[in-house]
Amino acid sequence: MEHASWRRRVARSQQAGLLLVIVGLGAVLTLLAGSHVDRVTGAEVNNFLNANTLVQTATDASFFAIMAVGATLVIVSAGIDLSVGSVYALAAVAMALVLRAHPPASGAAATAAGLAVALGVGLGAGLVNGAMVVGLGVHPFIITLGTMWIFRGIAFVASRAESILVPDALTAVAKATLGLPGGLYPVPMLCMLAVGIAGAVYLTRTVPGRHIFAVGGNPEASRYAGLSLARVRLGVYVLAGLTAGFAAFLGAAFYGSASCVDATGYELYVIASAVVGGASLSGGKGSAISAMLGALLIVLIRQSIRTLHFDQNYEWIIIGTAIIAAVVIDRASGTIAQRRLARAQ
């Protein structure tokens, strides 16, 4: 009986639905992508269902999926953060500038220093966002719209619009094969999974995570219950900044350079990942794992356009349609749930 109840809960979960869509889209791509002959082994290889394409797809998703986990915390608290792409660019540029000005003595020192700078800049940017949202009482859309331009402008001025190389030691870490053959680089994918799991545990298994749901779902009741709304809201922006800083470290290390134009437009992918993953823009609902799966689904949509040789100009149309559909479905499911509750009462 308990096993049946557990299976029903899994089947009804948001993650199960997303996984079903991802698997279905992957199956369609596998059938329609065709195949080619591997020049090394001579074996016939599916153009989509092969290790290189799958790992590359996960790698493409990993950088904004990591940020989507942090953005989900903000959205669950009934906030919004449009500045995550600019925080990424600022953190990456700051890291590259510091490492160029003060070259570390060893690879381990370079990795530690780069990570510390990127996370520090992300933390500082998150504090600025959170403090302005809480202190000024202005809608977070306006605050983060402004800081989106400010942070990227600082990155532009600091870098003089140049692409700045990072030490090879960082690239060696981000592109470590971990024993996999064929030039596969699983580190970004593994980091994405680790951040997604950590975000899920934080949201669902800790008291601060439950406070985020409470503040986003019913701020007045949370205030009467003794929760500090200012502290919770400040905290989610700090965490969003930290995930953007970590993504910046990983991205700059993986690609070997940092620029003020890095992650341009990522804020759209990040918010889309969270929304497609079931996060409610009105607050009180969201999942870190679902946001990660939403990022994978968006990258799969982009991959399908390239694999099936469609016009890439349709990418934005398809992703925009997916966002609207996700919001409509979420609203409809919420309405149905409220009607069922009303009938039960």
Least confident window among 21-30, 109-118, 165-174, 194-203:
21-30
- Name the DSSP class of 10: H
pLDDT for 199 equals: 96
Asked if residues 216 and 76 have their Cβ atoms less than 8 Å apart, the reply is: yes
Residue 271: phi and psi, rounded to 5, are: -65, -40
**pLDDT tens digit string along 148-205?**
999 999 999 999 989 999 999 999 999 998 888 767 899 999 999 999 999 999 999 9
Q: What is the rounded CA–CA span in Å between residue 193 and residue 189?
A: 6
pLDDT for 180 equals: 82
Mean pLDDT, the chain, whole residue set: 88
Least confident window among 11-20, 119-128, 207-216, 295-304:
11-20
pLDDT for 201 equals: 96
Confidence of residue 106 (pLDDT cuts 50, 70, 90): confident
pLDDT for 316 equals: 78
Confidence of residue 1 (pLDDT cuts 50, 70, 90): very low
The candidate with the shortest Cα–Cα distance to 251, out of 261, 237, 240, is: 261
Confidence of residue 16 (pLDDT cuts 50, 70, 90): confident
Structure tokens at 325: 């559909």
Confidence of residue 112 (pLDDT cuts 50, 70, 90): very high
pLDDT for 337 equals: 63
pLDDT for 21 equals: 83
pLDDT for 236 equals: 97
pLDDT for 330 equals: 65
DSSP strand E in 50-140: where? Answer: none
The residues near 230 (Cβ < 8 Å, ≥ 6 apart) are 134
**pLDDT tens digit string along 204-225?**
999 999 999 999 999 999 998 8
CA angle 195, 72, 114 (to 5 degrees): 45
Helix, strand, coil percentages in the chain from 3-state DSSP, rounded to 5: 75, 5, 20
Q: What is the rounded CA–CA span in Å between residue 307 and residue 318?
A: 15
Percent of the chain scoring above 90 in pLDDT: 56
| pTM (2 d.p.) | 0.90
Number of H helices, E strands in the chain: 14, 4
pLDDT for 54 equals: 87
Asked if residues 119 and 246 have their Cβ atoms less than 8 Å apart, the reply is: yes
Asked if residues 119 and 304 have their Cβ atoms less than 8 Å apart, the reply is: no
Please identify, in words, the CATH class of the domain defined by 56-344.
mainly alpha
Query: Which has more pLDDT, 240 or 277?
Result: 240
Structure tokens at 109: 């020192």
pLDDT for 122 equals: 97
Is the model's pLDDT at 326 over the cut of 80?
A: no
Asked if residues 154 and 90 have their Cβ atoms less than 8 Å apart, the reply is: yes
What DSSP letter does each residue of 92-116 carry, written as one string? Answer: HHHHHHHHHHS--SSHHHHHHHHHH
pLDDT for 322 equals: 73
**pLDDT tens digit string along 265-284?**
888 889 989 988 888 888 88
Q: Exposed e or buried b for every residue in 206-244, given b needs 16+ CB within 10 A? A: eeebebbbbbbbebeebeeeebebeebbbbbbbbbbbbb
**pLDDT tens digit string along 46-89?**
888 888 888 888 998 999 899 999 999 999 999 999 999 999 99
Is the model's pLDDT at 242 over the cut of 50?
A: yes
